[in-house]
Amino acid sequence: MAEVQDRAPLTAEPTTDTDTPDAAATNVRLTIEGMTCASCARRVERALARVPGVSEASVNLATERASVTFDPRAVTLADMEQAVARAGYGAQPIAAPAAELTTEAEPDGTPTDERGESDAGEPERDEAAERRQAELTRRRDTLLLGIALSIPVVVLSMFFMDRFPGENWLLLALTAPVWGYVGWDFHRTALRVVRHFGANMDVLVSLGSTAAFLMSVVATVAPGVVGATTFYDTTALIVTLIYLGRYLEARAKGQTGEAIRRLAGLRATVAHVVRDGREVDVPLARVRAGDELIVRPGEKIPTDGVVLAGASAVVVAMLSGESLRVETGGGCGVMGATINATGMLRVRASRVGADTMLAGIIRMVEQAQGSKAPIQRLADTVAGVFVPAVLVIALLTFIDWTVAGYVFGFQPAAAMDGATSSPWIVALVAGIAVLVVACPCALGLATPTAIMVGTGQGAESGVLIKGGESLERLRGVTTLVLDKTGTITRGKPELTDVIPASSVALTESELLALAAGAESASEHPLARAVVAGATARGIAPAGPVERFAAVPGGGVIARVAGRELLIGTRRLFAERGVATTANVEPLAAALEADGKTAMLVAVDGAVVGVLGVADTVKVGSAEAIARLGALGVAVWMVTGDNRRTAERVAAQVGIPAARVLAEVLPGAKAERVQRLRDESGGLVAFAGDGINDAPALAQADVGIAMGTGTDVAIETADVALVKGNLRSIVTALDLSRATLRVIRQNLFWAFAYNTVLIPIAIASPAIPALRESAPIFAAAAMALSSVTVVSNSLRLRRFSRREAA
């Protein structure tokens, strides 16, 4: 837990303030209203991309959101909203969550948020959730009305045809509300889109149902014009079945975002803050950085901070997935939303609102869920021309069957009775079936719903994947390069040996005091281990430090208390012309044979001893590497340590000596990664946690940052592991493969559905079972299509339960 205070929160791609005059690029997220299919998303995306000043626009049908990168000097939010409106849809910026509002202080010290509220009040309501639930309730009630009216329409049409006078007028009275009220969502959207010279799924549904309804009305009012046969049952079932599919799809899409809602629900709602020497309860949104908080046993820690007093065990499973409790005391960092299990803690708030670890995780997941995977490009391309193509196919179907009837005398299979045998009516029924059966929704939902669920489940398992492209690349990784320190090992080395050379007069204490004095000016983990080892032994570091220089990958050069010190590797000593003595070399070799890092020490140009530092292997590293091998991933280790130490550590976790890259300087890691990319011919991932790992993380096809690492490494990587252990890499790989498998299944279904059923609808007059009911079967199939895709994506929710098991 101690690392939290030194690490910036996990964040999505930084967003530039739109008010900054010289901002080069700004990203804004918009809520898009009125989209119903992939064609809609494609149309909105094109409309935004055409706005001068917009460099990139991505629209996600599943989340109903757009992410737009633009130059604020050339375009405004109003310009983008107008462009979306001209395309026939609505757009508005996504407001910041209440938990992310900036907190300020009133003159009397009482905290207030940007709205000016200062009372403790009630926790903020989730207005988005309330709107979503209200919309689902409205749709459910509308659907129930449609079902209640459609059932008698179908019964009368099937079993009581021409049984009593005025039957068609009764059917008209029952069907009109279904077509006009239940189907109004389709008609309204279709009118808006057509008015802007577009076409989407609602246009197809509206055209099909309206054609059947109007023909039935004419047959009822003036039977001599088109005959007496009506299609009220077709109208009612087209509207009701597709509305049922839309309702089920909305419910399922709501569940795809459940992971973010659960993460947001982890927040505490109230904090016990010490103000003017007394404890007061304030809402979380009004806690400020620097506030002193009281956290009692069993309570959630309100925000990220540092423990001032007290000791306790903290449950961090809700953020990192670690089931073990973490012992926490004075000076330790703690994360908001974790649970204080035992003792009382006094915590100084260090990060609040949007700056907390939890807010960063939510932001990263939202960014990932709104992204697109490369595999979606084909679906987007098809969606762009799908609806116009279906309209043309439906028109050609009508023309062809009309010609076949009037010119060639074709009679439909099991010829329809009476007026329905008229060729143009047969052709109209087939055309309606083509309009209704086509489903661009499945194409648009195939990829984003799977990415939403997959990245959400990853977040709950402690795996933060930054986007669909990262997810797809991760699935194809064949080689994984692991940095040793902090990735395979704990990254917290400890001083184990202080061995003066037999040829010098320095004692162990004098050697350690000089070494600790030189290392006290360094932030390197090995340096901290030496200083901590001296402190633990009751030895004060020598001083003052008059001059200090760190040599990356080598060691340190310093002047301490008037003496010149050189501490580090054999390579550093060779570069400085300091020869290692025969009585020191065996000591260093013995330490390295035990898997320890040997640090040579020279004073005034002469080698005086060697320090041994050990970094223990993380629990589960060997098991994880074995599982990665079973998944077909070749695992390599890279380190700046000498080969003897590196191979000893590699042997502990099951990495062959041939896959150990030892004595690699920090700047050369990226070069080694590129060399592996060239040699392997496959995708190479790199996992590390330090600032010096950032170039290698960027060079790799997939960069994986351990959650215990620096903010630079985390920002550079494609995947961040909150747990910081190698088992999370296995989880990430399994999740990426499962998600891509579901995406492929969804795309196969979407393409196969349209490829098979559109031709069947075209040929329906020649198929006995579909002679009059083709539009009804088409509506049922179309409703089933999008629901099937979303439901298949929801299977990924079992992933976290499987991992937990």
Q: Which residues are catalytic?
A: 483
Six-digit token pair at 655? 């990495």
Would you give the DSSP letter of residue 94? P
Residue 9: which region, alpha, beta or left (left: phi > 0; alpha: psi -120 to 50)? beta
Tell me how crowded residue 678 is: count the other CB atoms within 10 A of its CB.
Answer: 9
Closest of 442, 439, 431 to residue 391, by C-alpha = 431
Output b/e per residue, 588-608; b: 16+ Cβ within 10 A: beebbeebbbbbbbbbeeebb
Distance in angstroms (rounded) separating the CA atoms of residues 213 and 225: 15
Distance in angstroms (rounded) separating the CA atoms of residues 241 and 150: 10
Closest of 119, 64, 73, 117 to residue 91, by C-alpha = 64
Residue 88: which region, alpha, beta or left (left: phi > 0; alpha: psi -120 to 50)? left
Q: Is the peptide bond before 297 cis (omega within 30 degrees of 0)?
A: no
What's the start-to-end Cα distance of the chain, in Å?
A: 25
Amino acid at 406: Y
530 neighbors 493 (Cβ within 8 angstroms): no
Closest of 293, 291, 276, 165 to residue 228, by C-alpha = 165
The label of the residue with tokens 């704990």 reads 490
Distance in angstroms (rounded) separating the CA atoms of residues 420 and 262: 55
Distance from CA of residue 60 to its chain's centroid?
13
Six-digit token pair at 613? 């530092």
Q: Enumerate residues 6+ apart whose C-beta is below 8 A from 493.
A: 485, 525, 526, 529, 597, 613, 614, 615
Distance in angstroms (rounded) separating the CA atoms of residues 7 and 136: 41
338 neighbors 314 (Cβ within 8 angstroms): yes
446 neighbors 748 (Cβ within 8 angstroms): no
Tell me how crowded residue 221 is: count the other CB atoms within 10 A of its CB.
Answer: 11
Q: Enumerate residues 6+ apart whose C-beta is below 8 A from 696.
A: 481, 483, 638, 669, 670, 672, 673, 686, 688, 703
Give CA separation, 449 vs 39, 60, 778, 790, 793, in Å.
Answer: 16, 9, 24, 6, 6
Beta bridge partners of 268: none
Q: What element of type H or E holds 431?
A: helix 423-437
Q: What element of type H or E holds 159?
A: helix 127-159
Closest of 557, 564, 569, 520 to residue 540, by C-alpha = 520
